[in-house]
């Protein structure tokens, strides 16, 4: 099957690292800032960064509703860290005016790991990723406080949920794009391929 085109939401965050990881995982990767660019991609990655800033810029760039519509319509989306927060139906410890796109029936707590430990790495066993555990890089990372019945928990760390999937929407608290191991991106590229057929 032909190579899928996958966008990386480029309002703020570690866009370049995701573009590189997607290219390694056999996708055509391109930054997405505007609704016209969003319309051209088969799937979308929402990077790590700062979810409050991303939310504000999504409003300013007129991207909030177009993004919500595509997620609702079933476009495959993968969010890392701040991106996970953007995909939560509900967040805790967010800013009062903070918007999310939703997409996963979960409650995510912002900066949940950050209070104890600003940044750390841990070995994570993730369902759906073959070939042994992945190295999880956590940077002021959120965790998933609770999930609805349709959500699959793919990984936990210290008893906290750190990777989930609901249908076409995938999210991790950690940042596979910052490691040389692109198996999580490969899993997402497969989701996008499946969504096109
Ligand atoms: N704490 C950040 C937020 O609230 C997320 C950090 C990250 O993406 N590395 O958006």
Per-residue pLDDT tens digits for 65-95:
999 999 999 999 999 999 999 999 999 999 9
Nearest to 10 by CA among 65, 53, 42: 53
How would you write 52-100 as a 3-class SS string? HHHHHHHHHCCCHHHHHHHHHCCCCEEEECHHHHHCEEEEECCCCCCCC
Residues of the chain with pLDDT below 70 are 1, 115-117, 196-197
Query: What six digits make up the tokens of 173?
Result: 């608290």
Looking up tokens 């210290």 gives 158
**Whole-number percent of the chain with pLDDT over 70:** 97
Q: How far is the CA of 57 from the centre of ligand 1 (A)?
A: 15
Report all structural domains of the chain as residue ranges with CATH numbers, in order of start: 5-196 (3.40.50.880)
Q: What pLDDT is recorded for position 195?
A: 83
Q: Collapse the DSSP code of 100 into the 3-class scheme (helix H, G, I; strand E, B; otherwise coil) and give the result.
A: coil
Q: How far is the CA of 62 from the centre of ligand 1 (A)?
A: 22
Tell me if 46 is assigned to a ligand binding site: no
pLDDT tens digits for 87-120? 999 999 999 999 999 999 999 999 999 766 679 9
Question: To which H or E segment does residue 122 belong?
Answer: strand 119-124
For ligand 1, whether the C-beta of 140 sits within 6 Å is yes
For residue 14, the ligand 1 atom closest to its alpha carbon is 8
Q: Please give the helix or strand (H or E) that residue 17 lies within, else none.
A: helix 15-24
pLDDT for 150 equals 97
| Global model pTM greater than 0.95 | yes
Local structure of 58: helix, strand or coil: helix
Q: What percent of the chain has pLDDT over 90?
A: 94
Determine the pLDDT at residue 43. Answer: 98
Active site residues: 81, 175, 177
Which pLDDT belongs to residue 2? 79
């Amino acid at each position: 099957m032909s190579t899928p085109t996958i966008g990386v939401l480029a309002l703020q965050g570690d866009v370049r690292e995701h573009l590189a990881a997607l290219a390694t995982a056999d996708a055509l990767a391109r930054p997405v800032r505007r609704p016209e660019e969003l319309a051209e991609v088969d799937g979308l990655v929402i990077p790590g960064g700062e979810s409050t800033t991303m939310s504000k810029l999504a409003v300013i760039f007129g991207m909030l509703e177009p993004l919500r519509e595509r997620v609702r319509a079933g476009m495959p989306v993968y969010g890392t860290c701040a991106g996970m927060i953007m995909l939560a139906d509900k967040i805790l410890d967010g800013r009062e005016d903070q918007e999310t796109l939703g997409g996963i029936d979960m409650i995510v707590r912002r900066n949940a790991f950050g209070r104890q430990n600003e940044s750390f790495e841990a070995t994570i066993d993730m369902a759906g990723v073959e070939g042994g555990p992945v190295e999880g890089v956590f940077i002021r990372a959120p965790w998933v406080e609770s999930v609805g019945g349709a959500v699959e928990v793919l990984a936990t760390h210290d008893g906290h949920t750190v990777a989930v999937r609901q249908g076409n929407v995938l999210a991790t608290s950690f940042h596979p794009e910052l490691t040389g191991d692109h198996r999580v991106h490969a899993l997402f590229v497969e989701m996008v391929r499946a969504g096109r057929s």
